[in-house]
Structure 1
Amino acid sequence: MRALIAMRTDCTVLTARHPAHVFRPLPEVLRMWEADGVDTALFRSGIGVVRERYARHGLTRLLPLERVWVGYESSRSGAFGGFHHADQGYRHLQMVAVITMYGPMEDRTPVDPALALLDLLRAYAHDCLHYGSRRRYVEMGGRPVRTQYGINYRRAGGQSYSAADGRGSRHTRNLGVVMEGACDREARSMTRRTAERFGVTQPAGPMGALAYRDVTGTLSGEAAARAARVGGPDEQIRYAASLAAYEERVNLPYAYFLTEFAPGEEDDCHARLVAATISGDTSSLGAWLDERHGPGTFAGLFRTPGYFTPDAAPAR
């Protein structure tokens, strides 16, 4: 606990990885944008949607806004931020989310405020589920080692419960991918609902259209593949490529997983996955899968054969 508390007291080790960007806690960034004339009602209303939705899944404590650090006003020419910016996201040891303002980052306010607020809401909703997922730690050599995250497990020696998927695989049998996909499905669903409530529509221009469809979960597989070929400044090209890779490796395999094992019941299966990730209890989800696919479905799908072998090599 002392080691974890020390890590959670100071998050500069995370923001220091982005020396060109200015970082401030999310509440300060919202107030700054409001002072510059940006209407942040979209994001503030979206938080209500997130709170209500997650409460139904059993998550009553959201990631504190002051634990979210937002990067902006970059000194790096051509800097481009957003959900798919490199080396950001939720960090469980520090219990901090590091994210960047969507779009060009040279100024302190976004070029497209509505789209930036939607991107911020997607990132926050996404990280709230990471924050609220069940975790268990053990001490190894004086350092905390996570042995459970949601419904995924790892032996103290490093062996993961489920193995990595094969490169280019259409389906997934990896619990990390399943939980990440479930997390983003939730986040994008709430972002889409908020966009509809505020009448935010797809902007003109290939990059804005791509980002809008990404944050609202309306991106097709074909559009994701085309994203990797979006032209423009270097950082925008890299951002689009990262967006496409995330869709290909996380969201599309998760969607395919639901159609594989819950055809016609995708929403029900997804809700059970989210609730199990929050509680860390797979009994209800396992029983639901067993009813449809036979006994031991959960372990049969996800558990790598060497998980209980003490000297097994760690899975990725």
Structure 2
Amino acid sequence: MTRPELSPAVGGGGRTEAVLSRLQLMVTRKLDGLLQGDYAGLLPGPGSEAGESREYRPGDDVRRMDWPVTARTTMPHVRRTVADRELETWLAVDLSASLDFGTGQWLKRDVVVAAAAALAHLTVRGGNRIGAVVGTGGPAGDGGAGTVLRLPARNGRKEAQGLLRAIAGAPVRPGRSDLGALIDLLNRPPRRRGLAVVISDFLAPPEQWSRPVRKLRFRHDVLAIEVVDPRELELPDVGVLPVVDPETGELHEVQTADPRLRRRYAESAAAQRAAISTTLRGAGAAHLRLRTDRDWLLDMVRFVAAQRHARTRGTTR
């Protein structure tokens, strides 16, 4: 199968513009065709304007408890809120060297850029602002996060396209960004309540980034987009497989014909992904997993539908 041309980081500015234009067209057609409604965000944010009260359901945010109604009825109630129209969205985009890998239809880096494009489209169409901090590996720099590109929050399609061009054209350097330090950049300086999105493969140890995610959740709705390649979950039986670590350049040869090795690899990968899911859920973040061998846009649409359905039942996590 021929992999579609999506990676805009390779080649000149003209090719980057062409790739982003095709990506924008794809996002616009599919999201606008499948996500109906005046305000279609990836998370049905609670907003700040008070609405009606309803009975508490397991999973509701206890910070929205309506204590006067609870005391009057002797039944726990929560206060509904009306979603804000003006939303500020911030992206923490991890473009460490490990993202330059893919054995499916796309590279993981492609999916990261595509997810950012979908978020930008959903954000700016409501007149909202979007900004980003982008970690590109390299030596420790901005707050320990490595080399970081800061893109201030602005509204408008032209500004959103500029943000996407900057993300797509960001050079990837050897080494791994400190994901925890990158996420912490969304906490400094304190920003108005909004949506914070972390896009990464989350291969860094959870203890490195779990606390910054919990801290971010105190003020913002948090969405974690995990990008996965199928070969990170299981090894095919292809004999001796040369494997290069994209972050260190080290070359290893793996004998994939060994069924015990493949089994241990799959078990370790499953345990790693389960730890990521558990940590994100414990931090209160919504979790969306996108794969390089699947229709990532369809997975996004399904995620939005599930979040909205959960919201009507009283929980969004």
Give TM-score, length-normalised by structure 2: 0.26
More helix by share: 1
More strand by share: 2
Give TM-score, length-normalised by structure 1: 0.26
